[in-house]
Amino acid sequence: MTQIRQEAVKLLEQIPEDKVIFIIQIMQGLKGLYADDDMGQSEDAFLQLEKMRKKVPDLDYENELAEYREERYGSANLG
């Protein structure tokens, strides 16, 4: 048992018996924050995104830029 858990147990032992129910309710609420179901849903969503991911071929950035400029501006004879 870690030192933090030991400290928690000591504090729990100091609480009157009729107040322990409140601690139990708090702990149950905290358990809901990190439930395995939430993690499972997150993992499922991530796996769905991974399936949709597509491989993009390596780009020739200079060629892409030249094609974009040609589409956008055409051949502007500025001379």
User: Tokens 């322990």 belong to which residue?
Assistant: 20
pLDDT surpassing 60 at residue 79: no
Question: pTM of the prediction?
Answer: 0.39
> How far is residue 66's CA from residue 75's CA, in Å, rounded to a whole number?
11
Tokens of 37: 């179901």
Alpha helices in 1-79, H assignment, sequence order:
3-14, 20-33, 36-52, 61-73
Q: Render pLDDT for 35-78 as a digit per residue (tens, 0 to 9).
A: 666 667 778 888 898 888 888 788 888 998 988 988 888 866 55
Domain ranges of the chain: 3-54
3-class state of residue 43 by DSSP: helix
Residue 25, burial from CB neighbour count under 10 angstroms (0-12, 13-18, 19+): exposed
Q: How confident is the model at residue 9 (pLDDT cuts 50, 70, 90)?
A: very high
Residue 77 vs residue 4, higher pLDDT:
4
